[in-house]
Structure 1
Amino acid sequence: MRTIEWFGFVLGALSAAGKVIIKKPGESAEFSCGESSPSSLVWNHGNNRMIKIEKSGMRRKGLGYNERTRLSGSKLIVSSVREEDSGRYTCEVDERSEEHTLLVVSVSASPSGDLPVGSAAQLQCQVAGLNPGSTVQWTRSNGGPHSDSTVQLKSVASSDAGIWHCKFSHNGETHSVSLEITVKENAPPTPAPLPSQNSKDDREPTHPDSTSGVTKPPPYVLLLGLSWWVWVAVGVGCLVVILLMVLVCVLCKRIKRRKRKMQKMKQLKPKHYCQCNRPTAAARPQQGRRREKPPGLALQPLLKE
């Protein structure tokens, strides 16, 4: 009887130990807990109460329950995990308990992307939620292990390309997260194109370089990739444009001066009209009217005797 009880206790302890869940930042983590629809349920993150469902169906949320956490039956789902989400998760359902451990692993290479040959790089592996004293180290398929969670590559070589593994131990078990490193070879310098035999520049006079023995055109032939006659044409064109602009300015000034002079002359010159110095003619008598007789003498009164 005692043997059966001890065997049941061992099975309960193994089931209560749960499992280790390894996630990268931004992924989702799921924690199962017994039946899908239990009568009572409690989820704890470390020593913090996340949520409690009583037999009456009432839910009580704690500080550890946020907008990234939700329940699906008795399963706890944490989306977009962060480093602070790592640690121990305990589930109490129908007087039974289960325990899970969330480890958040971040592996990265700095700089990111393809690493040029000969450049410096750094590999980092950070594991949140490990027990104290756990070891973290880098290994690669074509090389030995490194005894640190950070690897400094002072000069990247072609042999550094491949899959790197970040290994760590937890509760006596070894876990690993991989990172692929890509090395970019330096492109060989491209040779300069050979000059064409039919080009005009080849017919220009050249002189050999005393240091390298390579024939180069004299400095008066090419300047900024153009021949001397091109620069001469450009200079003559610029001179013609400047002379035309000066001529236009002089003509405009002369026209303005002439207009002002004509206006002044119009203002000073008086206006004369034609006048005739002849005596005025007598007014003609009006026709159709009778001449008036001169008034007669006034009658004087008769003298009395």
Structure 2
Amino acid sequence: AECLLTPFVFFSVLGALSAAGEVFVAKVGEKVTLKCGVSSYRRSLQWHHGADLLFSVYHIGFPRKGAAELVQRSVVRQTNLEISSVRETDAGRFTCSADGTRHEHTLSLFSVSVSVTPSADLLLGSEATLQCDVKGVIEGCEVKWRSPNVDSPEWSPTAQLKPVTSSHNGTWQCIITCGSNQLSEHLTIKVQGNTQILEMKTPVFHCDQKKNKRVFSFPEPPPTTSTTASLCSSKDSPKTIFAIVCSVLLSYFLL
């Protein structure tokens, strides 16, 4: 029968295996340090990748290097193996032998790609989608977004911003967690918006002498001169003035 392991069981098994060997997690293109499992040795130390010899170090004599391409990007520091510019082909089994005692480890590699649609420059009130694609995730690993907003820090691998707000502005992190190992990829979003506040201006009434009718405008600065015509009269009744103001305001909001 097929046996399905829950994340809790998976991590428990991983912890049990770590007594004999360790699972190292790294992101493609970065540097990773593989720990041998011992801090010192008396006679000899060897590192293998699969069946390929990488390094053979002796207390007496010169160290010997293997012919694998990985050797060109690796160095032994004390008992640990440091690999630079990790490639997908570097994944797999590594064996550290110190004075004849073997310590087998595993290197798992991720390739992480982050993106935002439609672009990293967003407008307030618009919509956007953040995507974190991880290639090579093993069972039990968790992928999530961490936002710059402390009030809602965690999002799913596909984050829907509906609508975009000022709290979305800043650096987002796609975090991959596998047991005690954690990797991240960053994405910066810039939220832009019109922060200008429309100012309500009082309409200024004046008279067009040529057309012999009342007109209004919203000047800035307000006019300093006034003209009169036959339709401009201080005898306008309050009801007439109220009707004109209502008409003006209605026209302003319908523009």
TM-score (norm 1): 0.43
**Structure of higher CA gyration radius:** 1
Q: Which has the higher contact order (CA 8 A, sep 6+)?
A: 2
Higher helix share: 1
- Larger strand share, 1 or 2: 2
